[in-house]
Amino acid sequence: MPKDTFSYESIGVIRTPFESAEGMPIQPIGADSVTGTVEIEASYADGLADLAEFSHCML
């Protein structure tokens, strides 16, 4: 049986103050004072119209 092939294309960038996984907290409690941003390409904005209605967003 042939295996399915999947490819992914980036639609944005997640920015945090962490430059590597080393030293990065693995639980939210360890990063209470840390902020980050998510930048999504403008062409995907319509697909995010109702995002505020959800309690979680997996990135």
23: left (phi over 0), alpha (psi -120 to 50) or beta: left
Question: For a pLDDT cut of 90, what percent of the chain falls above it?
Answer: 46
Residue 37's SS3 state is: strand
Instruction: Tell me how far CA of residue 26 lies from CA of 22, 30, 32, 33, in angstroms.
Output: 10, 7, 12, 14
Q: What pLDDT does residue 10 have?
A: 93
Asked whether residue 47 carries a pLDDT value surpassing 80, the answer given is yes
Average pLDDT, the chain: 90
Q: What is the pLDDT of residues 21-42, one digit of tens each?
A: 898 888 878 888 889 999 999 9
Q: What pLDDT does residue 41 have?
A: 96
Asked whether residue 1 carries a pLDDT value surpassing 80, the answer given is no
Q: Are 13 and 41 in contact (CB under 8 A)?
A: no
